[in-house]
Amino acid sequence: MPGPTFYLGAPAPGWLAKAGVPLFVSDTRLRGYKTLPVAVARWALDSGGFTQLQKYGDWTVPPAEYVARVRRYRDETGLLDWAAPQDWMCEDAIINGGWYGGQYFAGTHLTVDEHHRRTVLNVAHLRELAPDLHFIPVVQGRGPDSHRRCADLYWTLAGIDLTREPLVGVGSVCRIQNTAKAGRILTALRSWGLTRMHGFGFKLEGLNRYGHLLGDQNSADDGDGGSADSQAWSAWARWAQRPLFPECVGVHKNCANCLRWALHWRQDALAAAATPARGEQLEFWEGEAA
């Protein structure tokens, strides 16, 4: 049975021309390139939304400008699977602002429901501006009930039926992916008809515990296993504070931006996704953590 497609988070857009594996690359990294790398493997585009809202508490990039860049990436870099929208995450740090984990957040100071509304309207706007580009819808929230409200809003506000979408992103889960709550969110979304999902920022434990919930495990078709992305490999290397391979000694002080280490870590991620830990029973409650 197919497992999720794993997009390796890439800190350097140049990896598109040499990594040879599916990559997840941010618009914030690519946008300054006059000459874009030509991709040798499929990839997906991160809109840079978390960084945008962390710094400014709002989107400062006009949708038309973002669309123009995505079209350029598709045409000049090639092999672009899809692009994330300019969505609005629902973590406390993003909404309330202040210091979290040593980082300062500007804060949007909006409600979760307003984040839902703005996310849905942006997807609809991007698709209206560029029907030739693949912008995936993303469901944001703080728990099963909250994510359900966002999913419902796609239909009531924009006429988008998520059950007919080839892929739906699931946001605001990367910091809780090693908890049962993340599993309940994915289980709930599956029960509501979403069978092909992308998990943003999934680490090894998240893939091991819940990677099997991202896709249609009854299908043999490529791509029906859902997908996930992660750049957690970089944090591991930074914590090590030393090169992780003999070949890297004298080349860099740690492997936080090392393609050799990233590809090695990716093998562990694929193994975690292929051998899910499915022992716990997952349930969800309609009124949980809105």
pLDDT digit string (tens) for 178-187? 677 888 999 9
Pairing of strands 103-105, 98-100: antiparallel
pLDDT at 182: 84
The percent of the chain in helix, strand and coil, each rounded to the nearest 5, is 40, 10, 45
> Residue 213 carries which DSSP code?
G
Q: Who wins on pLDDT, 244 or 128?
A: 128
Tens of pLDDT, residues 35-78: 999 999 999 999 999 999 999 999 999 999 999 999 999 999 99
Instruction: Give the whole-angstrom CA distance, residue 282 versus residue 266.
Output: 27
Count CA within 13 A, CB hemisphere, residue 41: 17
Query: How confident is the prediction for the chain on average, in pLDDT?
Result: 89
Q: How far is the C-alpha of 62 from the C-alpha of 86, rounded, in Å?
A: 10
Listed residue (1, 2, 7) closest to 227, CA to CA: 7
Confidence grade of residue 207 (pLDDT, cut at 50, 70, 90):
confident
Q: pTM of the prediction?
A: 0.90
Q: Which residue has the tokens 């994510």?
A: 147
3 pLDDT exceeds 80? no
Q: Which amino acid is at 19?
A: A
% residues pLDDT > 70 (the chain): 89
Q: Strands 43-46, 80-83: parallel, antiparallel or unpaired by DSSP? A: parallel
CA angle at residue 171 from 168 to 116, to 5 degrees? 90
CA 100-102-104 angle, to 5 degrees, is 60
Cβ(172)–Cβ(141) below 8 Å: yes
